Amino acid sequence: MGRYRTERVGILLQEKIGGLILDGAIKDPRVDAFLSVTRVEVSRDLVWADVFVSGYKTEEALKKGVAGLNSAAGFIQSRIAGALRLRVTPRLRFYADFGPAGAFALNQKIDSLIKESAQTTPGSAD
């Protein structure tokens, strides 16, 4: 199977899973609209899909949300199977993605260092 097909299937899965989360179709109380799907990696044979989830929550709450998604994986897979026309619907595995939160924290740290450096530099004009 071509690489482009797995990428297209990954994009479709990302859209469908994100829509299910946003619409509140997943009734697990650990899953709410503050979770977002950052990327989906589909195996070459389309049997597995690793779904990476991020959110504006604490690490603990994000881990609970991912556990809720893993518990609802069968339901999500069945909803996707009805929406997509694939011979085999990939089995879903959800993982917490701490990358966006880490990048945001790093960006804030850089901004504070720039401000601090501008304040300590004598003769700097803003």
Contacts of 21 (CB under 8 A, 6+ apart): 31, 32, 33, 35, 36, 37, 69
Number of domains observed in the structure of the chain: 1
- The CATH number of the domain holding residue 62 is 3.30.300.20
CA 105 to chain CA centroid, nearest Å: 17
CA atoms within 13 A on the CB side of 96: 18
Q: Are strands 35-42 and 91-96 parallel, antiparallel or unpaired?
A: unpaired
Summarize pLDDT for 17-30 with one digit per residue, the tens: 999 999 999 999 99
Whether 68 is covered by a domain: the verdict is yes
- In-domain check, residue 126: no
Which residue segment(s) compose the domain that 103 sits in? 3-120
- Whether residue 97 lies inside any domain: the answer is yes
User: Is 125 a residue whose pLDDT tops 60?
Assistant: no
Q: Which residues pair with 99 in a beta bridge?
A: none
For residues 18 and 7, is the Cβ–Cβ distance under 8 A?
Answer: no
Q: Check pLDDT > 60 for residue 33.
A: yes
